[in-house]
Structures are given as structure tokens and as C-alpha cells.
């Protein structure tokens, strides 16, 4: 592959944040010969797709899985020379462990059709045939409204929308809850019906790719680190420990950034690719009265809380995604065969309703987590040797009803200013694919000179 040479005489495009959105934007630009500089405040790259060592234990920013129906992110990774087979292990099944019943479901309708069919027709102790039947009008109406009336759909919580179509109580708790709270961790009373159907609608035309992948190592190690190296190989810079405190705005144009140490860096364009709250803080200084930014600045954020621990025994017979409806467990997985192979047992857990947990001491969060793990009969929990609670206060936009229309485009009306992040307007919500799409759209805007 031939790459255009960077013109070192030009000021770089400055990208604030080295999460997937920022790195995908930087790669797309560097691959086309643009000079780029990525500035990351943390001492490691990856943002919410990162791993690092915390007090002697290897941890990740949160429990992540790679969805097989992604398209943009795999394409960018392939162009960067990153092999999907080296990065991801595809799972054949997923488990739901309720306090009263359990079920195993096949994930790959083409490569493992019998497991998929058996999962859908079976598991009747968990979800009875009558429960399954109650879901048919709900899903039919939901996907129809997602296409024809998205703003209407966004006025409902997923629980209210399910009740509107008379979905059974068990089906709501044992299937809809894990497929919503188990992924984006908001309680179903808050979680937008638009967000629920929006996550699964893109999979319908790509049923052959409906599967879940576990990372074969920490995300910085196998994905964002190699992506940063591909940027640097093309002449770009990826710098850590560089906290941006202000945007430089002169003559109605964003012309660069000021760092926390008061040094200034000038750029041809600036892409704000931070999390939602950090973006709001940077933008509000100059644009708090600008009409275009009002919805963005009022877009609610939400926290996340994860529990990660090592144990002397394995916690499951396979490293596959498991949901824990009816408990504090959103989704979790044994990871000792795939992502973190040093300990004998190792798990990462997304905890539901992070608003109630975010300010609790680590010890209390762990006790709540351990209680839920016992409630779903996960074996060997008490062989835990060490744990870490990894949390963030305002890292995600809140996927609650009524927020969809507030998500901004990547191309702003301000000369020299672009946005990238999963909170921006793109169809894959707060996912890795959504971040990649936003980064590509910001890069396309820069490369084509598009303005609002």
C-alpha cells in the first residue's frame, strides 16, 4: 500500500483524546497524508478501550466485547494492518444467569446454527414459550418505529415500551433487561427504547455476522496500541500525559489548544475527541451562547462502574459473555483463557445502575458485587485474591429517553473545529463501532473541507 507523504510545513490537525474515536480519526487523516498530533491526558492510550496496571493488577477501562456486525472499525483496523484473527476470539454461546433459572443461547446463526436454534427454542425454564410469544409484537413494532418514528420511540423507556405491547414480566426481566442494562448499564426504567432497538437494528441485514468476540489481550495491547503505531508509522504523533485545558479561538476560528502547563500548540484544525463531559467543558468556554451547541451542552452524561478480580480457580467453564438480570450484574465474563491469561481465574463485570454506586467506597462496591455473584451461583467467587473497582463519573452520554436529538454532528459551524466521539450523531450509539464511525466522519469533513 502506498501512502501520501506528510507535508511537515503545515500545522498539524490536533486531535484531543486517544480513544477509538480520536485514533480512528487520526489514522484516516494520516493515511491520506495529513499531519496529525493526538494529545492524550492519561499516561496510556485508548480512553474507554484501554488496559493498564493498577497497583500491581492488570485492569481494563471496562468490560468490552467486539460485535461481529461492525463494519467501519474492522475496515479501519484492517487498513492499519491489524489482524482481526489475532485480536478477537469469537464466542459461540452466551449465558443468562437469573437468580431462579439459567439459560444458554447460541450466538452465530450461520456457523453454529444448531446451538442458535436450540437456544431460541429451548431455555424454557428461563423464558417460557408464552414469554417468548409476548415478545413478537414488541420487536415487530420496535424495529418498525426505529425506522419510521425514531423520535417517537425515543420518548419511551424500554420498560414502558415493552409494557405498552404487553410483554410478560419474566420476558422483561430475563431477556430485555440483560439486552439493555447488561450492555449500557442503565436501569430499564430509564433506558431509551430507541437505544435498545438502535443497537440491534444494524445487525438485521448482517445476520451472518451476529456474534460476540472476546479480546485476545488488553485492548491497548491488541487494538489501540497497534492503531497508534500505524498512525506514527505514517508520520503522525500520539502523545500521552498532555492535558488540554483550553481551545485557542481567534477571529472566529479554532486555531489550536492550550495545555495544562500553559504551553500552546497551534493546529490547522482541532478535533475534540474526548468523552462527553470533557468535550462540554472545553466547548462551553467559547460557545456557551452559540445556538448550535445548546443541545450538546445540555446532553446528560452518566457514570460507569466495573468490578474486576482475580481468583485461584476459574469462575466459568468457558470465556463467554454472561448476563445477570435481577442482580447488580449487568454483564461479565471469565477472561483467563482469552484476555488476561496470567491468573488462574479472572473476571470483569459491568455493574448496573452506576448512579447508585459511583460514590460508594471500593469495599462496599465489591461486597455488593460479591453478593450478586453468589445470587447467580457463580462458582469459586470466594477464591478471589485481589480486586479493583474501575469507575468513571461522566464518561458516557446518558442513553435515557429524550436524549437522541441532542447528539451533535461531527462537523460544526465553527471554522477549524470538529467533533469525534460516540456521543456524536451516528447510528451505533455508545459502542466501539459508533466511536469509529464518528472518527471517520470527522476525518472526512476535514479532508473534503466540508462546513455546515
Lowest mean pLDDT among 114-123, 197-206, 234-243: 114-123
- Does 49 score more than 90 pLDDT? yes
Give the CATH architecture of domain 13-70+73-81+218-300+400-448: 3-Layer(bba) Sandwich (3.50)
**Number of C-beta neighbours around residue 50 at 10 A:** 25
For residue 3, name the pLDDT band (cuts at 50, 70, 90): very low
Q: Output the pLDDT for position 115.
A: 72
pLDDT greater at residue 12 or residue 211: 12
- 265 and 256 in contact (C-beta within 8 Å)? yes
Whether 119 shows a pLDDT value over 80: the answer reads no
Which class for 150: exposed (0-12), middle (13-18), buried (19 or more C-beta within 10 A)? Answer: middle
CB 167 within 8 A of CB 176: yes
Confidence label for 171 from pLDDT (cuts 50, 70 and 90): very high
Q: Is the pLDDT reported for residue 121 higher than 90?
A: no
Q: What is the pLDDT of residue 2?
A: 33
Give pLDDT tens digits for 176-235. 999 999 999 999 999 999 999 999 999 888 877 888 999 999 999 999 999 999 999 999
What's the whole-number mean pLDDT along residues 379-400?
96
DSSP, residue by residue, 289-348? T-GGGHHHHH--EEEEEEEEEEESS-SSSS---EE-TTSSEEEEEE-TTTT--SSSEEEE
Question: What per-residue confidence (pLDDT) applies to 207?
Answer: 78
**pLDDT value of position 66:** 96
Domain ranges of the chain: 13-70+73-81+218-300+400-448, 89-93+105-210, 301-397
Q: What is the pLDDT of residues 53-81, one digit of tens each?
A: 999 999 999 999 999 999 999 999 999 99
The mean pLDDT value for 408-422 works out to 97
pTM: 0.94
> Pick the residue with more confidence: 361 or 205?
361
CATH class of 301-397: alpha beta
Give the separation between CA 237 and CA 414, rounded to whole angstroms.
25
pLDDT tens digits, 314-335: 999 999 999 999 999 999 999 9
- Residue 431: band (very low, low, confident or very high) from pLDDT cuts 50, 70, 90: very high
pLDDT of res. 1: 35
| pLDDT > 60? residue 5 | no
Q: Do 303 and 150 touch, CB atoms closer than 8 A? A: no
Lowest mean pLDDT of 36-45, 238-247, 442-451, name the range: 442-451
Query: What is the structure's pLDDT at 210?
Result: 85
Quick: pLDDT tens for 251-308.
999 999 999 999 999 999 999 999 999 999 999 999 999 999 999 999 999 999 999 9
Burial code of 380-417, b = ≥16 C-beta within 10 A, e = fewer? bbeebeebbbbbbebbbbbbbbebbebbbbbbbebebb
- Kindly state the cell numbers that stand for 6: 506528510
**At residue 452, does pLDDT exceed 70?**
no
Sequence-distant (6+) residues with CB within 8 A of 277 are: 301, 393, 394, 395
pLDDT at position 108 = 72
Query: Grid coordinates representing 321?
Result: 459473555
3-state secondary structure of 246: strand
Gap between the Cα atoms of 384 and 321, Å rounded:
20
Amino acid at each position: 500500500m502506498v501512502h501520501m507523504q506528510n507535508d511537515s510545513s503545515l500545522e498539524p490537525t490536533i486531535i484531543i483524546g486517544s480513544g477509538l474515536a480520536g485514533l480512528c480519526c487520526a489514522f484516516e487523516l494520516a493515511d491520506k497524508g495529513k499531519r496529525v498530533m493526538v494529545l492524550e491526558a492519561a499516561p496510556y492510550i485508548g480512553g474507554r478501550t484501554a488496559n493498564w496496571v493498577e497497583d500491581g493488577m492488570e485492569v481494563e477501562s471496562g468490560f468490552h466485547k467486539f460485535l461481529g456486525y461492525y463494519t467501519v472499525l474492522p475496515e479501519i483496523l484492517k487498513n492499519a494492518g491489524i489482524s482481526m484473527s489475532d485480536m478477537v476470539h469469537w464466542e459461540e454461546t452466551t449465558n443468562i444467569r437469573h437468580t431462579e433459572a439459567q439459560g444458554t443461547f447460541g450466538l452465530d446463526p450461520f456457523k453454529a446454527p444448531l446451538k442458535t436454534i436450540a437456544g431460541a427454542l429451548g431455555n424454557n425454564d428461563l423464558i417460557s414459550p408464552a414469554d417468548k410469544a409476548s415478545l413478537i409484537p414488541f420487536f415487530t413494532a420496535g424495529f418498525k418505529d426505529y425506522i419510521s418514528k425514531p423520535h417517537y420511540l425515543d420518548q419511551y423507556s424500554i420498560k414502558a415500551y415493552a409494557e405498552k405491547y404487553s410483554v410478560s414480566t419474566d420476558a422483561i426481566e430475563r431477556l430485555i433487561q440483560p439486552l439493555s442494562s447488561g450492555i449500557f448499564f442503565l436501569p430499564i426504567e430509564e433506558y431509551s427504547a430507541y437505544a435498545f432497538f438502535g443497537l440491534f437494528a444494524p445487525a438485521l441485514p448482517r445476520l451472518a455476522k451476529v456474534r460476540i468476540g472476546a479480546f485476545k489481550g488488553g485492548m491497548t495491547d491488541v487494538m489501540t496500541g497497534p492503531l497508534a503505531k500505524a498512525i506514527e508509522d505514517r508520520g503522525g504523533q500520539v502523545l500521552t500525559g498532555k492535558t488540554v485545558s483550553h481551545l485557542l479561538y481567534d477571529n472566529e476560528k479554532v486555531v489550536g489548544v492550550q495545555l495544562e502547563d500553559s504551553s500552546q500548540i497551534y493546529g490547522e484544525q482541532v478535533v475534540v475527541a474526548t468523552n462527553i463531559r470533557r468535550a462540554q467543558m472545553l466547548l462551553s468556554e467559547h460557545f456557551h451562547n452559540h445556538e448550535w451547541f445548546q443541545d450538546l451542552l445540555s446532553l446528560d452524561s452518566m457514570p460507569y462502574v466495573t468490578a474486576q478480580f482475580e481468583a485461584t480457580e476459574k469462575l466459568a467453564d468457558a470465556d463467554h459473555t454472561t448476563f445477570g438480570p435481577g442482580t447488580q450484574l449487568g454483564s461479565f465474563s471469565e477472561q483467563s483463557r482469552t484476555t488476561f491469561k496470567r491468573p488462574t481465574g479472572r473476571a470483569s463485570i459491568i455493574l448496573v445502575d452506576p448512579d447508585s454506586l459511583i460514590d460508594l467506597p471500593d469495599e462496599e462496591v465489591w461486597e455488593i458485587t460479591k453478593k450478586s455473584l453468589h445470587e447467580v451461583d457463580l462458582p469459586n467467587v470466594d477464591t478471589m485474591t485481589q480486586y479493583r473497582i474501575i469507575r468513571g463519573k461522566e464518561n458516557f452520554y446518558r442513553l435515557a429517553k429524550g436524549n437522541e436529538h441532542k447528539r451533535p454532528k461531527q462537523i460544526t459551524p465553527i471554522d477549524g473545529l470538529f467533533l469525534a466521539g460516540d456521543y456524536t450523531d451516528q447510528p451505533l450509539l455508545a459502542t466501539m463501532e459508533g466511536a469509529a464511525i464518528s472518527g471517520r466522519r470527522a476525518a472526512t469533513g476535514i479532508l473534503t473541507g466540508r462546513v455546515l
